[in-house]
Amino acid sequence: MPILHVRNVPDDLYRRLKARAARKRRSLSAEVTILLEKALQTPETEQAELLADIRRRRFFRPDAAGAPDSVSLLREERAR
């Protein structure tokens, strides 16, 4: 099995990885391998689509879509 060495890992990241491995009762090496595996499970095209969707929703204007204004809804609720 190949060996992977990672240099210049920030101290804080190393401590968090080590703590996470301890919580899961794994070695640091096993925890890093699992995290890398999870990170690579999602195909890059799916990630790109997800990011594009997030960017689209970021500029969504409810008033342009015919949704009621939140201030109006609050005023109606208070008037009840």
- pTM equals 0.53
pLDDT tens digit sequence for 53-79: 888 877 777 666 677 778 888 998 999
Q: Which tokens sit at 17?
A: 């990885």
pLDDT band at 51 (very low <50, low <70, confident <90, very high): confident
Give the Cα separation of 80 and 65 in Å (integer): 26
Of 30, 37, 28, 34, the C-alpha closest to 9 is 28
